[in-house]
Amino acid sequence: MKRSRRRSPTPEARAVLSSAPDKSDSKIPGIKEIAQAAGVSIGTVDRALHSRPGIRAATRAKILQTAEQLGYRPNLAARYLKLSQQRRIEVHLPQEIASFFDPLRDGIRHAAAQFQPNLEVEFRSYPRIGQGEVESIQTFLEHDCDGIILAPSSLSKISPLIRKATARGIPVVCVATDAPGTDRLTSVSSDPFTSGAIVAELFTQLRKGVREVAIVTGDLSTFDHSEKVRGFRAMLSDLNSAISLVEVAEAHDDYREAYRQTCDLLARRPGLGGIYVSTANSLPVIKGLEDSGRIGTISVVVTDLFPELVPLIHTGKVFAALYQRPLTQGRMAFEALYHFLMEGIRPRPVHKLPPHIVLRSNLDLFIENSVVELEG
């Protein structure tokens, strides 16, 4: 009597419950119930369930079977409580670009807060991509943590570290961009190929006058950046688009370089109808457009979403933004790592998120959501 605070349904009520599973009154089976049913002790049950040594094959088989037919599900709360071995994961991400990596960290923090038990998350941030990342990540060698989340921006330098970590049994999850060919546990990123393709489609379908489009990117040796160009090209040919990609300028995520390149580009291309900025470095490009007086005549599609873009999208100076959903990336990266560590569930090898297409009509919703919550 004392355990059921809920009054048990009357027979009448029970009859009405079309889909109510008739669990009768049997309490939820635990390892104790299995032991009793199989006529052994709970220690033996544990050995059987976890394939531990020191048990006869026959005993194990019998226990496994009764567990099965009792529909045993381990009580995770109890397990986590017992195994309070306070696991710890490290998150190595750059400070810059903050508009992307800050919400990515928030996504991880938020997810971690939900799952609380036994997992301490430690954020270790280095100044920017290509500056201090190796030093930051290397430290895992010293503090043997249980898992790592990182952004493998410069593949050649980070891949060996990923391999080393994996060799030590420390799973690594890549975010923001992938490190293919390494044995990372999984990767979570906005799919760059699709990003490029979307922009090509938008220009083709929504900007009928446009013939010449240029891309301003960061560095084509970065996987993410070159994939966007590849996706753009692929979609143009898929659609038999009237548009041609006339230039791809590399600005190396630098404000002044992007500004200069944009000015040069505009001078060279009087017929330019569109620009796709495929990194977060869009403000200097817009400044260049404004300074040259061509801001209204050229359609601009940018990447990521930050406060300065809001009025630009509202006024139509920027036609669309591709939002790479850093909060969601953080959440998914954490969940994948968490489930692997706690339950041994191996996630699928790659998670490609569709980027959100932000237009004037849906802009407000993104602003509302990105502030507090996990962005939907």
Partner DNA sequence: TTGAAAGCGGTACCAC
Partner DNA sequence: GTGGTACCGCTTTCAA
By CB under 7 A, residue 119 contacts DNA: no
String of DSSP letters for 169-219? T--EEEESS--TTS--SEEEEE-HHHHHHHHHHHHHHH-TT--EEEEEES-
Within residues 314-333, the interface with a copy of itself by CB under 8 A covers 319, 325, 328, 332
- In the chain, what are the helix, strand and coil shares in percent, each to the nearest 5? 45, 20, 35
Q: Which stretch binds DNA (CB under 7 A): 53-61, 130-138, 198-206, 266-274?
A: 53-61
Q: Least distance (Å) from DNA to the CB of residue 50?
A: 6
Which of 47, 120, 51 is closest to 84 using CA atoms? 120
Place of tokens 């669309």: 320
- Size of residue set near DNA by CB under 7 A: 30
Instruction: Kindly state whether residue 74 participates in binding DNA, applying the rule CB under 7 A.
Output: yes
Which residues, other chains included, contact 331 with Cβ-Cβ below 8 Å and sequence gap of 6+? 107, 108, 110, 111, 374
Q: Could you say whether residue 56 binds DNA (CB under 7 A)?
A: yes
Name the one residue in this structure whose structure tokens are 């940018």: 302
* String of contacts with DNA for each residue 320-339, x by CB under 7 A: --------------------
Q: Work out how close the CB of 278 gets to a copy of itself at its nearest, in angstroms, rounded to a whole number.
A: 14
User: Which residues does residue 299 pair with via DSSP β-bridges, in sequence order?
Assistant: 274
* Binding site partner of 43, from a copy of itself, DNA, none, Cβ cut-off 5-8 A by kind: DNA
Pick between residue 39 and residue 296 the one whose CB is nearest to DNA. 39
Is residue 40 a contact residue for DNA (CB under 7 A)?
yes
Which of residues 6, 7, 23, 82 is near DNA by CB under 7 A? 82
Distance CA 138, CA 50 (A): 34
Where does residue 274 rank: exposed (0-12), middle (13-18), buried (19+ CB within 10 A)?
buried
CA distances to 62, 192, 274, 319, 332 from 238, rounded to whole Å, are 59, 17, 19, 22, 31
Binding mask 109-128 for a copy of itself (x = CB under 8 A): -----xxxxx---xxxx---
Q: Does 349 bind a copy of itself (CB under 8 A)?
A: no
Interaction residues for a copy of itself, span 176-195 (CB under 8 A): 191, 194
* 242 contacts a copy of itself (rule: CB under 8 A): no
- 300 three-class SS: strand
Binding flag, residue 141, DNA (CB under 7 A):
no
Q: Which residues bind DNA (CB under 7 A)?
A: 27-28, 30-32, 39-44, 46-47, 49-50, 53-56, 59, 72-75, 78-79, 81-84
